[in-house]
Amino acid sequence: DAKTTQPTSMDCAEGRAANLPCNHSTISGNEYVYWYRQIHSQGPQYIIHGLKNNETNEMASLIITEDRKSSTLILPHATLRDTAVYYCIVRVDQGAQKLVFGQGTRLTINP
């Protein structure tokens, strides 16, 4: 699986959009981009995933660049409950492929 690079930490004001970047320059054509988040002392929670098109669900939007070498997770109206560690992972969506977690980005939403 391709390696990802994320900033160690970010801050965002409550009510504003939080934009979390992820670089995955070695991603291959059949690898998806997945985002999970982990609120303190809980199990990670799936947020969204995509292959090459932009995706949106009730939690977030995922913007993938045309060359697929980077992506951005957008939380449109961040709340205090969005404070968590956010993990960007790339993997082939085939078989029981294991997820490899990096260090993630610690996002702090400030009142």
Measured from the CB atom, the residue of 41 and 111 that comes closer to other proteins is 41
Q: Give the one residue of 58, 67, 96, 111 binding other proteins; rule: CB under 8 A.
A: 96
DSSP string covering 56-89: E-SS-EEEE-TTSSEEEEEETT--GGG-EEEEEE
Is there a contact between 60 and 35 (Cβ–Cβ < 8 Å)?
yes
Piece of 15-23, 67-75, 76-84, 89-97 that binds other proteins (CB under 8 A): 89-97
H or E stretch including 107?
strand 105-110
By the rule CB under 8 A, 42 interacts with other proteins: yes
CA 54 to CA 71: how far, in whole Å? 9
Count of residues near other proteins by CB under 8 A: 21
Give yes or no for residue 52 binding other proteins (CB under 8 A): no
**Cross-strand bridge partners of residue 9:** 106
Q: Are 87 and 102 in contact (CB under 8 A)?
A: yes
Q: Which is nearer to other proteins, 17 or 39 (CB)?
A: 39
Shortest spacing between CB 34 and other proteins, in angstroms: 6
Per CB under 8 A, 101 contacts other proteins:
yes
Interface with other proteins (CB under 8 A): 34, 36, 41-46, 49, 87, 93-96, 98-104
